[in-house]
């Protein structure tokens, strides 16, 4: 899912080259997730990898609200024992802060989750000891209990 039809066309071409059957949806993810609430469709796996919601600390508050909302919506649409892979590439959002946002969203969802794994970018993107914001990529794997 993406709002860019050009990006989706590249995805479709890549999937075709690799013999993969996919459904590429041109939509805003917030609207899409909201539209699924009333239906019975639930998902075994949801991957959230949005663009950076926050590029500077002055936008941190709005970004955290966005991360909470998108994750809450996804959490409500997971099937029993479903998985959520959720990412943030916003530099000002520390790993601990991102996990707190997920904890709050999980509480609001009325569901329980296990943290299965916390991932960061690979070694070819080193983190500078004196610049913690260089550890910008965070991915948390959650499973509905």
Domain with residue 100: its CATH number is 3.40.50.150
Q: Is residue 134 part of a domain?
A: yes
Q: What is the mean pLDDT of residues 120-124?
A: 89
Among candidate residues 86, 101, 103, the one with its CA nearest the CA of residue 137: 86
Q: Is residue 7 part of a domain?
A: no
Write phi, then psi, for 108 (nearest 5 degrees).
-65, -25
Residue 87 has pLDDT above 90, yes or no: yes
Report how many domains make up the chain.
1
Per the document, the length of the chain is 145
Q: Is residue 23 part of a domain?
A: no
At 37, the pLDDT band (50, 70, 90 cuts) reads confident
Q: Residue 18: CB partners within 8 Å, gap ≥ 6? A: none
Q: Spot the catalytic one: 54, 87, 89, 139.
A: 89
Q: Is 89 a catalytic residue?
A: yes
Angle at which helices 60-76 and 95-109 pack, to 10 degrees?
40
Residue 115 has pLDDT above 90, yes or no: yes
For residue 122, the enclosing domain spans 42-144
pLDDT at position 142: 98
Residues of the chain with pLDDT > 90, as a percent, come to: 70
Q: Is residue 114 part of a domain?
A: yes
Residue 52 has pLDDT above 90, yes or no: no
Q: Does this model's pTM top 0.85? A: yes
């Amino acid at each position: 899912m993406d709002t860019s039809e050009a990006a989706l066309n590249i995805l479709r071409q890549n999937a075709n080259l690799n013999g993969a059957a996919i459904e590429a949806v041109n939509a805003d993810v917030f609207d899409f997730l909201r539209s699924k609430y009333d239906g019975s469709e639930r998902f075994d796996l949801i991957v959230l990898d949005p663009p950076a919601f926050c590029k500077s600390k002055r936008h941190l508050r709005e970004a955290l609200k966005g991360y909470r909302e998108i994750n809450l919506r996804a959490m409500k649409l997971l099937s029993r024992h479903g998985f959520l892979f959720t990412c943030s590439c916003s530099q000002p959002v520390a790993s601990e802060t991102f996990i707190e946002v997920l904890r709050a969203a999980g509480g609001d969802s009325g569901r329980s989750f296990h943290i299965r794994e916390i991932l960061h970018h690979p070694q070819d993107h080193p983190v500078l000891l004196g610049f913690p914001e260089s550890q910008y990529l965070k991915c948390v794997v959650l499973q509905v209990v």
